């Protein structure tokens, strides 16, 4: 048990390093993750590497010891879940978001228009996070949370490749929520995520 406690910092550090290498493209899709090699590179035992791989498998970033290379079916499945859950969350947000949270949403829209790529990435994540949390449903929030690393990959794609109308759609969602129009908020959120999916599928198909 003591050994396990001591290995926790090594696990967290290993997990973050491997995850960041996947997310920044240093470990591209299809790369085989070899425990012994990674352990030697990071100067740790194989145990934290094994735990890191297990966690990254749960998050969908590693499949069968290889960095995920999402297929069209994977993309469609993930976005189907997001469209259902985040559409419902947007409807909830129209009823329950407080004024300070509405201001935060608006700030995310403004950063989306004027910020750097990194700032836009963070604002995009925060925008969706505020809305998902408005569902007040811990099960739904947990499902989306476990998908965050994979969502990040696609969020990076739509921001980096400057998907048309991305921030305009955020503003539409914000306006529907501010107007307390739950039906419209749900519809525009679903359309927004469908547009993200279509954009990613188009890039995959090139």
Distance CA 188, CA 173 (A): 6
Where in the chain does DSSP place strands (E)? 62-63, 66-67
pLDDT of residue 204: 74
Query: CATH for 2-67?
Result: 1.10.10.10
Q: Is 33 helix (H, G, I), strand (E, B) or coil?
A: coil
Q: Is 67 helix (H, G, I), strand (E, B) or coil?
A: strand
Span 77-131, pLDDT tens digits:
999 999 999 999 999 999 999 999 999 999 999 999 999 998 999 999 999 999 9
What H or E segment, with its residue span, contains residue 143?
A: helix 138-146
CA separation, residue 26 to residues 4, 20, 67, 87, 95 (Å)? 29, 8, 11, 33, 42
CATH 1.20.120.530 fits 72-205, yes or no: yes
pLDDT of residue 49: 94
pLDDT of residue 3: 40
pLDDT of residue 68: 85
Angle of CA points 103, 106, 108, to nearest 5°: 115
Start-to-end CA distance of the chain, whole Å, equals: 51
pLDDT of residue 182: 98
pLDDT of residue 151: 86
Q: Which residues of the chain have pLDDT under 70?
A: 1-8, 206
Domain boundaries, the chain: 2-67, 72-205
Using CB atoms within 10 Å of the CB of residue 13, give its burial: 0 to 12 exposed, 13 to 18 middle, 19+ buried.
middle
pLDDT of residue 123: 96
């Amino acid at each position: 048990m003591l050994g396990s406690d001591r290995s926790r910092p090594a696990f967290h550090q290993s997990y973050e390093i491997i995850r960041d290498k996947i997310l920044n493209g240093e470990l591209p899709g299809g790369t085989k993750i070899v425990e012994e090699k990674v352990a030697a590179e990071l100067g740790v035992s194989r145990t934290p590497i094994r735990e890191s791989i297990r966690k990254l498998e749960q998050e969908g970033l590693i499949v069968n010891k290889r960095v995920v290379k999402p297929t069209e079916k994977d993309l469609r499945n993930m976005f189907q879940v997001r469209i259902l859950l985040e559409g419902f969350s947007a409807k909830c947000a129209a009823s329950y978001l407080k004024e300070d949270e509405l201001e935060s949403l608006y700030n995310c829209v403004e950063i989306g228009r004027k910020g750097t790529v990194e700032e836009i990435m963070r604002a995009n994540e925060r925008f969706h996070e505020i809305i998902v949390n408005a569902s007040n449903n811990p099960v739904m929030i947990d499902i989306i949370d476990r998908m965050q690393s994979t969502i990040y990959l696609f969020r990076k794609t739509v921001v980096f490749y400057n998907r048309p109308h991305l921030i305009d759609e955020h503003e539409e969602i914000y306006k529907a929520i501010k107007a307390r129009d739950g039906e419209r908020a749900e519809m525009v959120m679903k359309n927004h995520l469908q547009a993200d999916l279509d954009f990613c599928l188009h890039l995959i198909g090139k």
